[in-house]
Chains A and B, each alone.
Chain A
Amino acid sequence: MNLTLKIWRQAGPRHQGELVTYKVEDISEDMSFLEMLDVLNEQLNARGEEPIAFDSDCREGICGMCGLMISGEAHGPERTTTCQLHMRSFHDGEVITIEPWRANAFPVIKDLVVDRGAFDRIIQAGGYVSVNTGAAPDAHATPVPKPHADRAFVAAECIGCGACVAACPNASAMLFTGAKVTHLSELPQGQPERMARVVSMVEQHDAEGFGGCTNVGACSAACPKGIPQDVISTLNKDLRAALRA
């Protein structure tokens, strides 16, 4: 298939960017979206133009490194990561707009690459259980009821790609933050720090400049792992409990 691509090019963090139009031809529908960009980059390199910078690493949908806004949809039209999106989801002659995640908390580094360091800092604010190596009791010392273990797992599936922020009309990172809060709140190991954790993580979330949540659910709809909205509810409940405490 032949495609027209409008791709955001931006030389550096402080440069002005713009959409540049490229044509690609003979794209196989078995290619992944990023392989299509690889093909374009090889052509650009051959023409002496600098290739387009974009992030990707595992290319099997688990590391969370890739992430593009594809014609207005985070990770494109399917519920998956950009690296697992294949060209059979597009049709011959289509015009595709490719932009980086847009959020002030995710500044553009170059072209389609953004800085998601804010997510690390939210985790640093409390997204952990304080247990030093070697200080752990036997793994069977505390049984965890299966429903709690399962819900913790669903929340823990977050890959930190940032699609939730990209898709949110408020550029809020509540789904990301809520997923970590829920993961740890569901487990007995997460209880001692439960209240302090949620307050600290939400404060960091706000300090990074993310917007507030308005519960519209665009985040969950874009999430490649299908993290549900109810993790935000858990965060809200924990924060409310922390306010009372």
Chain B
Amino acid sequence: MARRTTVGLKLLMAVTGLLFVGYLLLHMYGNLRALAGEEAFNGYAEHLRTFGEPMLPYGGLLWVVRIVLVLSLVGHAYSAFALWSRAGSARRTKYAAVKTAMRTAWMRWGGVFLLLFLVWHLLQFTVVKFSVNPDEQGAAVTQNPYELVVASFQVPWNTLIYVLAMVALAFHLSHGAFSAQQTLGWTMTASAYRRAKIIGHSLAAVIVGGFLIPPLAILFGLIP
């Protein structure tokens, strides 16, 4: 079956990856609202939950998005690990002298790191909602999205983890966004191929830049 081939797996990875890119853009927009203050940020968070009412119940869209994202994550990781293990067994005897591209290693180990970060990130802000800031504890902080974000990124080590994750995301996106276009067959000419590369690098720069602004602004006291 053509779906089960390596190209089928890649298509799965490309489509799920592009869904993530869309989600990241949305998420980045929300984060940047933090620059406009508590009301704007919390208002955005609340709006996500009331979106589509009364057609959808409270928080309904968010659940739809969550389900799609979880399924995408499973698909993305499944194809990644399937291809990774395939590649491992496609060359059991390694070269003694190697001069090959490092991007594949970046994608794989970077992807694993991003997965770990995602768990941490969700625990911190979505699932458990806890503050790593000893000075800012209590429900007033953890139940207020804006307060929790500000309190968390005032802690340098927490911000450092975030920055490292964004570096990994930058590498992952710059190759991944290009790669998805190649896998979908949108790069059939030399110019389309160059354009896909540029789109990959640009998306990575925009998204990672957008994500880094709020935490760094908090760390350096630009957001009180």
Contact = CB atoms under 8 A, between A and B. Distances in A.
| A contacts B directly (C-beta below 8 A) | yes
Interface of A: 6, 8, 19, 69, 71-73, 97, 99, 102-105, 167-172, 174, 199, 202-203, 205-206, 209-218, 221, 228-230, 232-240, 242-243
A102 B93 contact: yes
A207 to B, nearest CB: 9
Contacts of B87: 169-172, 211-212, 214
B3 A236 contact: no
A211 to B, nearest CB: 4
Interface in B21-45: none
Contacts of A72: 95, 97-100
Contacts of A235: 7, 185
A237 B83 CA distance: 19
Contacts of B55: none
Nearest to B93: A102
A229 B178 CA distance: 12
B83 A230 contact: no
Nearest to B82: A212
A-B CB proximity, top 5 nearest: A237-B185, A212-B6, A72-B99, A170-B87, A211-B90
Contact of A230 (B8, B9, B95, B189): B189
17 contacts: A71-B97, A72-B99, A99-B95, A99-B96, A170-B86, A171-B87, A199-B2, A205-B5, A214-B83, A214-B179, A215-B178, A216-B104, A217-B101, A229-B187, A230-B189, A236-B11, A239-B11
Contact of A102 (B8, B94, B104, B178): B94
A229 B90 contact: no
Contacts of A170: 83, 86-87, 90-91, 104
B185 A234 contact: yes
A203 B103 contact: no
A231 to B, nearest CB: 9
Contacts of A217: 101
Interface size class of B (residues with CB under 8 A): 35 or more
Interface residue SS majority, chain A: mixed
A19 B94 CA distance: 13
A169 B100 contact: yes
A243 B2 contact: yes
B128 interface: no
Contacts of B175: 215-216
A205 B198 CA distance: 30
Nearest to B185: A237
Contact of B2 (A215, A234, A239): A239
A212 B101 CA distance: 15
B83 A212 contact: yes
B78 interface: no
Interface in B53-95: 83, 86-87, 89-95
Given A230-B190, A236-B10, 6 more contacts: A69-B95, A99-B97, A104-B91, A170-B91, A212-B6, A243-B11
A233 B187 contact: yes
